[in-house]
Amino acid sequence: MPFNTLDDVSDLTGKTALVRVDFNVPMENGRITDDTRLRVAIPTIEKLRSKGAKVALLAHFDRPKGKVVPEMSLRPIAGPLSELLGITVGFASDCVGPAASDLLKLLPAGSVALLENVRFHAGEEKNDPEFAQALADIGDIYVNDAFSAAHRAHASTEGVARLLPAYAGESMRRELDALEAALGNPQRPTLGIVGGSKVSTKLDLLKNLVGKLDALAIGGGMANTFLFAQGVDVGGSLCEKDLKETALEILTEAEAKGCRILLPVDVVVAQEFKAHAPSRTQDIDAPLSAEDKIFDAGPKTVAQLNEVMAQSKTLIWNGPLGVFELPPFDAATVAAAKFAAAQTKSGKLVAVAGGGDTVAALNHAGVADDMTFVSTAGGAFLEWMEGKVLPGVAALEQ
């Protein structure tokens, strides 16, 4: 996908770069508890500063629903951002109009200003052309560095990109390059791992992936639905029995398109959902009682998955293989994650992972930093994997 990057623009001295960032950070008592999203934006900010631009940061926080809600102001973020950048970050009490334009006029080249929550305006989420124009009026170029918000056609993610010269920021560029390497133009063979509790939440994802991958491993509660569809007794496990026919259709489609489906061959079973609950490992053809629940994939399943992974060149991962939050039901996810990390570090595998639970699971396994790329964008990452057009990305295409 060809899109303009900041390498395509040279001198911006005195020009204002409107930069859409994701500063929807966790806050407690008016203080940021995790500044990861601020740090992610710094390479783009610094690159624009080095080109002489005035950097005007656009972001949303929470869901004020088009009204000014003082508790949802971005003002508390200006201080921590100033500390990270080593300069004073200005703050404008509005993201459009005189409050924003007057502040930007006063700032020298290379300065940074944070503008107030774009969602204080009803026109933001409606992608209102007048509000998009009001944003464009205060800038000279537009930079989108918020992939996590790119699945929304809002004024600050899509509308303004149609009105100014538009570029992908450094974080956006890394994300798009990684996604292209994983699904757009991957090295083959390609393997996908999709886990999670319910098939119903990932139908579009599964249908898209079976047409693009060489192999797809299905784990978590989703796997129970596919096992049940094939006549396997899943006891009292989480299972969407009403999706039996849908699961069979996906298996049939995968076979027609040459995508090998990997389902558990053994499972870890317990009768209660708590840490270190008494459990046993058994093959999937062994009987289960109504009280027995499957909480993880077994070691034979992991060995089969790792064998396919060892023969693969590209891995895309979304969702854990079991209930990784509670030991011992984290064993399969941790073992597969560590094997993927080792393959990646040795240069044998391009591994791209994303989605909230996936990031947490890889952090739990201690290998998030060893993967090729880990996307923290939940909804946008999932919609991209489903093959959907992301409005904020489409607006950047040349």
By annotation, the residues acting in catalysis are 37, 198, 356, 379
Q: Contact at 8 Å (CB) between 60 and 21? A: no
226 contacts 263 by C-beta, under 8 angstroms: yes
* Helix axes 244-256 and 220-229, enclosed angle (nearest 10): 90
CA distances from 84 to 40, 42, 79, 107, 354 (A): 11, 8, 9, 19, 26
Helix axes 170-179, 36-50, angle to 10 degrees: 110
Tokens at 343, concatenated? 């393959």
Q: How far apart are CA 47 and CA 157, in angstroms?
A: 20
H-run or E-run covering 229: helix 220-229
How many Cβ atoms sit within 10 Å of the Cβ of residue 181?
17
**Eight-class DSSP state of 263:** -
Q: Which residue ranges make up the annotated binding site?
A: 22-24, 37, 60-63, 119, 152, 202, 325, 355-358
Q: Extract the annotated binding site for ATP.
A: 202, 325, 355-358
Give CA–CA dist 281/262, Å, rounded: 18
Phi and psi, residue 35, nearest 5°: -95, 20
Plot region of 203 (φ>0 → left; ψ -120 to 50 → alpha; else → beta): alpha
Q: Which residues are annotated as a binding site for (2R)-3-phosphoglycerate?
A: 37, 119, 152
Contact 15, 54 (CB under 8 A): yes
Distance CA 317, CA 216 (A): 10
Taking Cα atoms as reference points, which of 388, 375, 17 lies closest to residue 174?
375
Query: CA separation (Å) from 29 to 33, 38, 71, 72, 79?
Result: 10, 18, 10, 12, 15
